[in-house]
Amino acid sequence: MNSAAPLAARRRQRNAAERRFRLAALAAVCLSLGFVVFLLGTMAVEGARGFVETRVTLPIDLKAAGLTATDGEARFAAAIDDAATRAFGRNGPACLAEGSWMHLRDAVRQDPALLVRPGSIELPASSPVDVAAKHDGTPAAEAAVARLTAAGALSRGIDWAFLTGADATDPVRAGIWSALKGSLLTLTVTLLLAFPIGVLAALYLEEYAPRNRWTDFIEVSINNLAAVPSIIFGLLGLAVFLGTLHLPRSAPLVGGLTLALMTMPVIVIAGRNAIRAVPPSIRDAALAVGATPVQVMFDHVLPLAMPGILTGTILGLARALGETAPLLMIGMRAFIAAAPRGFTDPATVLPVQIFLWSDQIDRGFVEKTSAAIIVLLVLLLSMSGIAIWLRQRFEARR
């Protein structure tokens, strides 16, 4: 009885320690998951604004201005300035985005009746007004928003031009299509190089390679390449592809080559695991009925290993799609005002575009950056979704 009391106390103490430890572990999980939610939530809230544009409804009478559909930029711009001054006062023209005259020209071409009778047209608001309408802006812009709201001229809509436009100095007009196309071109080069080379190398190492020093050396190289910091690949691309081979700077070709070297080890490692998982009975059966080693490999082993290889390839490409540092090294950070047309045109890619926009001082770019991040994350998530789907389908069948 005497020893029972300290024992019970000690047990309580130990159980309390157990609960504390368990709580601490749970807290670590919650904290990490909370960070995921916080990061994605911040980006989603900020980025959603980037997809919305503020529009100004401008009453316009082109008959008085004597405009014709074939006039140039200067006359359209003057007509807009004139109408804006008349409708919203002296600061009116500053409320409209820089490229508004193009909208007017397109509207006139679509509906020539605008030239002869008074009407109204919806134009994108300028960046300060846009920022002020969504949250806090400069005092002058807030005043302009109050005036426009009083006149009932402000409205909101989805900014389709963001998905179809190219980079611009004015955040209202900046779009991500050029960066997206650059990413697609770059990934095409990466896929075309890394996939065949990676699969063939994996086949060699699993099916043919004799156990000797050379094979060990190849294996060590591949495993080590998978862990080399990505910026080192950028230095390699700079020294070899630009410095020695004189390939064009900033081109998707060079970016794709650099990323292919980075992605290849990932594909080789995934490919080897998938090939190793093919049951040996398949090989034995095929060899027994007279197939040659190459026939066994391409007709039996490879088709069975393909889902696993494809999963690894998609994950490798997803990593390449999100990669920024090596592409900065090879000059894919230029201001690209038009979408690249080929593999050797100067281009930029989505992550680099995000990096460039994040450096801009204009507040309008903050939400554009987040919107571009959303586009990038949606692409990456759908790629990993496809990879997971492939893996599950594959595992279910076996």
Partner 1 sequence: MTTTGLLFTIVGLALIGWLSARMRAAAFRRPAIQRFGSLPVHHAWVVALWVLGPPLTFLVIWSLTSPALVTDRVLASPLAAALPASAFERASILSDARALAQGSGGVFHPAAVRLAPAYAAAQRHYDWLASAAALILALAGGVFAFVRVSPAFSARWRLENGVVLLLLAAALVAILTTAGIVGSLLYEAARFFAMVPAIDFLTGTRWSPQVIDPADPGASLGALPLFWGTFFIGAIIAMAVALPLGLMSAIYLGQYARPRTRAWAKPALEVLAGIPTVVYGYFAALSVAPRVRDLGLFLGIADASSESALAAGLVMGIMIVPFVSSTADDALRAVPAEMRDGSLALGATPSETIRHVLIPAALPGIAGGVLLAISRAIGETMIVVMAASGVATLTLDPFASTTTVTKQIVDLLTGEAEFDSAKTLAAFALGLVLFAATLLLNVVALVIVKRYREAYE
Contacts (CB under 8 A) with partner 1, residues 105-164: none
Interface positions, 261-290, toward partner 1 (CB under 8 A): 261, 264-265, 268
* Interaction pattern, residues 29-58, with partner 1; x per rule: CB under 8 A: x-xxx-xx--xx-xx---------------
Judged by CB under 8 A, which of 229, 341, 378, 393 binds partner 1?
Answer: 229
Range in contact with partner 1 (rule: CB under 8 A) among 52-60, 147-155, 244-252, 277-285: 244-252
* 304 touches partner 1 by CB under 8 A: no
Interface positions, 346-375, toward partner 1 (CB under 8 A): 351-352, 354-355, 358, 366, 369, 373
Cα 275 vs. chain centroid, distance in angstroms?
31
Judged by CB under 8 A, which of 151, 287, 304, 377 binds partner 1?
Answer: 377
CA distance 65 to 61: 7
122, β-bridge pairs: 57
Q: Please enumerate in sequence order all residues whose Cβ is within 8 A of that of 15, keeping only pairs 6 or more positions apart, or say none.
A: none
Position 172: which residue type?
V
* 243 touches partner 1 by CB under 8 A: yes
Nearer to partner 1, 153 or 264 (CB): 264
* 26 touches partner 1 by CB under 8 A: yes
Q: How far is the CB of 272 from partner 1 (least distance, A)?
A: 11
Residue 348 near residue 178, CB atoms below 8 Å: yes
Judged by CB under 8 A, which of 115, 304, 325, 386 binds partner 1?
Answer: 325
CA angle centred on 259, ends 381 and 210, rounded to 5°: 105
Judged by CB under 8 A, which of 246, 280, 289, 396 binds partner 1?
Answer: 246
Q: How far is the CB of 364 from partner 1 (least distance, A)?
A: 14
Range in contact with partner 1 (rule: CB under 8 A) among 83-91, 113-121, 124-132, 190-198: 190-198
Task: Tell me how many residues contact partner 1 (CB under 8 A).
Answer: 84
Nearer to partner 1, 88 or 355 (CB): 355
* 291 touches partner 1 by CB under 8 A: no
CA distance 183 to 174: 17
Q: How far is the CB of 213 from partner 1 (least distance, A)?
A: 12
Nearer to partner 1, 83 or 166 (CB): 166
* 397 touches partner 1 by CB under 8 A: no
Residue 391 near residue 311, CB atoms below 8 Å: yes
Interface positions, 202-221, toward partner 1 (CB under 8 A): 203-205, 207-209, 217-218, 221
Nearer to partner 1, 32 or 70 (CB): 32
DSSP assignment string, 45-103? HHHHHHTEEEEEEEEE-HHHHT--TT--HHHHHHHHHHHHHHHH-TTGGGGB-TTHHHH
CA distance 43 to 348: 22
Nearer to partner 1, 53 or 206 (CB): 206
* φ and ψ at residue 20, rounded to 5 degrees: -60, -45
Range in contact with partner 1 (rule: CB under 8 A) among 9-17, 132-140, 155-163, 173-181: 9-17
CA distance 387 to 311: 5
Nearer to partner 1, 77 or 314 (CB): 314
* 224 touches partner 1 by CB under 8 A: yes
Print the SS3 string covering 179-240.
HHHHHHHHHHHHHHHHHHHHHHHHHHHHHHCCCCHHHHHHHHHHHHHCCCCHHHHHHHHHHH
Q: What is the CA radius of gyration of the chain?
A: 30
Q: Please enumerate in sequence order all residues whose Cβ is within 8 A of that of 373, keeping only pairs 6 or more positions apart, or say none.
A: 43, 47, 354
Q: How far is the CB of 166 from partner 1 (least distance, A)?
A: 18
CA distance 257 to 88: 54
